[in-house]
Chain A
Amino acid sequence: DAKTTQPTSMDCAEGRAANLPCNHSTISGNEYVYWYRQIHSQGPQYIIHGLKNNETNEMASLIITEDRKSSTLILPHATLRDTAVYYCIVRVGGMYSGGGADGLTFGKGTHLIIQP
């Protein structure tokens, strides 16, 4: 799996958009970008994933650059409950997966702190 680079920590004011960057310059054509978050002491939670198009769901938006070497996770209206560690993960998945399964490779992620 390609390696990812994320800032160690970020602050954001409550109610503002939180933009979390991720660099994955060695990403391969069959690798997706996944975002998970881990709220203190809980198990990680899936947020969103994408291959090359921008994606949006009820939690967040994912913007992937045209060369796919970086991406940004956007939480449009951050709340205090969004304070968590956010992990950007690159791996083969979805339509490119074979019949088996692969684990996720977690780095240290970005500790996002939402300030009141």
Chain B
Amino acid sequence: NAGVTQTPKFQVLKTGQSMTLQCAQDMNHNSMYWYRQDPGMGLRLIYYSASEGTTDKGEVPNGYNVSRLNKREFSLRLESAAPSQTSVYFCASSFSGRSSYEQYFGPGTRLTVT
């Protein structure tokens, strides 16, 4: 099993450009999450999807949109990138309900907006 995979690993954007970060999991998890981590800080939740077909805002959703494409894939889109969105983005997945104690994280996407 590959676990949680993210593409791309690195990306540099100019202010105003758009891009989509891709995430996929092969563990048959119901729930998926997008976090961002700024230097020296803990992770902050951007959006999550409790199950296929549902998405909800997290702590810092402004400037982002998400799509739960199917059970395996959850993408994060920046429509008009800003320097404040320079960060490392982590995708995670987990079972939900009674088995929701462990989240599995991907390797991250390092995004720089100039």
Contact = CB atoms under 8 A, between A and B. Distances in A.
A76 interface: no
B90 A97 contact: no
Interface string A55-99: 000000000000000000000000000000001000001110111
Contacts, number: 79
A22 to B, nearest CB: 14
A109 B42 CA distance: 7
A87 B43 CA distance: 10
Interface string A29-49: 000101000000111111001
Given A43-B108, A108-B41, A103 B50 contact: no
User: Helix, strand, loop or mixed for chain A's interface?
Assistant: loop
Contact of A107 (B42, B90, B99): B42
Given A44-B90, A98-B97, A106 B44 contact: yes
Contacts of A34: 101
Nearest to A43: B105
Nearest to B91: A43
Contact of A97 (B41, B92, B100): B100
B101 A32 contact: yes
Nearest to B6: A43
Nearest to B94: A101
A17 interface: no
A101 B100 contact: yes
A100 B96 contact: yes
Nearest to A94: B101
A32 B102 CA distance: 12
A103 B45 contact: yes
Contact of A95 (B49, B98, B103): B98
B98 A97 contact: yes
A99 B107 contact: no
A103 B101 contact: no
A42 B48 CA distance: 20
A97 B96 contact: yes
8 contacts: A87-B42, A94-B101, A100-B50, A100-B51, A103-B59, A104-B103, A106-B42, A108-B42
Interface of A: 32, 34, 41-46, 49, 87, 93-95, 97-109
